[in-house]
Amino acid sequence: MSDTNKIKWTALAMMGFSTVWGFGNVVNGFIYFNGIQVIISWIFMFGLYFLPYALMVGELGSAFKNEGGGVSSWIHGTIGPKIAYYAGWTYFACHITYIASKGSGGLKALSWMVFRNAETYDSFPTLYVQLATFVVFLIGCFIAGKGLNPLKKLLTLAGTCVFIMSILYIIMLFAAPLINPGADYVHTEYSLKNLIPNFNVAYFTSLSILVFAVGGCEKISPYVNKVENPSKGFPKGIIAMAIMVVVCAMLGTVAMGRMFDPAVINSSDEAFNSYAANGGYWAFQKLGEYYHLGDTFLIIYALCNTISQFSILILSIDAPLRMLLDNKHTRQFIPSKLLKKNKYDVYSNGILMVTILSGAIILVQTLVPGAAAVLQQLTKLNSVCMPLRYLWVFVAYLALRKAFDRIPAEYRFVKNQKVAIFFGGWCFAVTAVCCLLGMYSDDPFTFALNVITPVVLTALGILLPKIAQREKKAENAR
């Protein structure tokens, strides 16, 4: 690649930033960590976890620049095909809970766009909401089964709009007092006492929310060797991205601190669930009030979110399934029935499996009292399941460093082997511990769902290779 086609480190930083960060991360951090107390937690999470994680991803992407940058391909290149299958399965399985949440999120956004309040959606019986969510999910599976992804461009547009509005929210809120000094702002005292987190059970069992928020930077790994002077340009881009994320997290938290009082959020379980489900919409609704624009910002945000949520639902049914079943190195561990394609070149039985697994999560939540509680529960479930895929990034990194002399890389996170092994092990441990702690809940149903879901998905991932092996034995015996 000529130098004129190389990516500048500043462009890489922007690519990574838009991939990793979103307004929902600010909202969840503020709500789950008692307002501005999340600031210190963000600083530690970025410095001790996110930055080394991103730099390790850079080294893996550099070492396997011709493999497309997928985690399963990294595992295949460092350990072998069987473990690569488990990495691919984990990536797919994590999206089962994610898919289950997209229908609910889309209906919530649609409700805000139409009714412009939280009460209407939250007042619907959970049974009806979840049945509607299930119907939306089935429609998504039908569209995915036809091999159609008509919402790809809309998803890109909606995602870009949500990203831009997240940045504008911070800028416009800080400017609001100049436009409307008499508006209702919350006075927040930034004393050390108010900033130090309460290190209680709720704090440690919510850390998976922050891990989930900063994950996903492995998506930019294919661009490592396309950066100008990768050994210097890539870390500069990653560090710049980390600084941008830190600044947005800090300023976003401060901005929300001027709108919402943590004492009100934590006044009851109902209030907490409502803020967890509606906080982002209330933020844009208040912003519109500050600028005397009514619900303009709210409607734009809700519209973009509606399109984004429903589009992601369809793409998440199709894309992770293809990543698992299209991998030529791991197909030997997958039963032949799952590899069956229909006339639209879609894995029809694979989509049926997604329908059963994600559909079961949607339907079992008809037992949850309250639509807002469902969304809060899904946020926690995703924070437990989704980061499990990050574990394979660190497994791949540790295996790469053990093969230091065998597998070259143009970019290295650190040259010292002991330091590299320490950071790989540290990030693995942080991810695993946060996911395990995140399973705990005072509510027995939520606790059971957080434990049973990953256990069932893991068991199914172990079972499939055994079924495939039995198939081969039966064929050989003929």
Secondary structure of 315-339 in HEC code, one letter for each residue? HHHHHHHHHHHCCCCCHHHCCHHHH
Spatial separation of the C-alpha atoms in residues 337 and 197, rounded to whole Å? 51
Query: What integer pLDDT is reported at residue 12 of this predicted model?
Result: 85
Query: What integer pLDDT is reported at residue 237 of this predicted model?
Result: 87
- Asked whether the CA dihedral 47, 48, 54, 58 is positive or negative, the reply is positive
CA gyration radius for the chain? 23
Segment 57-85 mean pLDDT: 86
Block residue for tokens 């709500």: 31
Q: Taking the model in full, what pTM does it have? A: 0.91
Query: What integer pLDDT is reported at residue 151 of this predicted model?
Result: 61
The helix/strand/coil state of 279 is helix
Do the Cβ atoms of 342 and 153 come closer than 8 Å? no
What count of other Cβ atoms lies within 10 Å of the Cβ of residue 163? Answer: 17
pLDDT exceeds 70 at position 69: no
Percentage above 70 pLDDT, the chain: 97
Spatial separation of the C-alpha atoms in residues 215 and 22, rounded to whole Å? 12
* Identity of the amino acid at 121: Y
Segment 154-165 mean pLDDT: 77
Helices (H) and strands (E) in the chain, counts: 21, 0
Query: What integer pLDDT is reported at residue 30 of this predicted model?
Result: 97
Task: Provide the 8-state DSSP code for 64.
Answer: T
pLDDT exceeds 70 at position 265: yes
Q: What is the pLDDT of residues 394-439, one digit of tens each?
A: 999 999 999 999 999 888 999 999 999 999 999 999 999 999 999 9
Query: What integer pLDDT is reported at residue 150 of this predicted model?
Result: 61
What is the full DSSP assignment across 2-48?
A: -GGGSBPHHHHHHHHHHHH--HHHHHHHHHHTTGGGHHHHHHHHIII
For residues 149 and 28, which has the higher predicted lDDT (pLDDT)?
A: 28
- 142: CB partners within 8 A, 6+ apart: none
pLDDT exceeds 70 at position 278: yes
Spatial separation of the C-alpha atoms in residues 478 and 476, rounded to whole Å? 5
Question: Confidence band (pLDDT; 50, 70, 90) for 68?
Answer: low
* Identity of the amino acid at 417: Q
Where does residue 81 fall: left (phi above 0), alpha (psi -120 to 50 degrees), or beta otherwise? alpha
Q: What is the pLDDT of residues 306-363, one digit of tens each?
A: 988 998 898 889 888 988 998 888 899 999 999 999 998 899 999 999 999 999 999 9
Segment 78-94 mean pLDDT: 94
pLDDT exceeds 90 at position 152: no
Mean pLDDT across the chain? 91
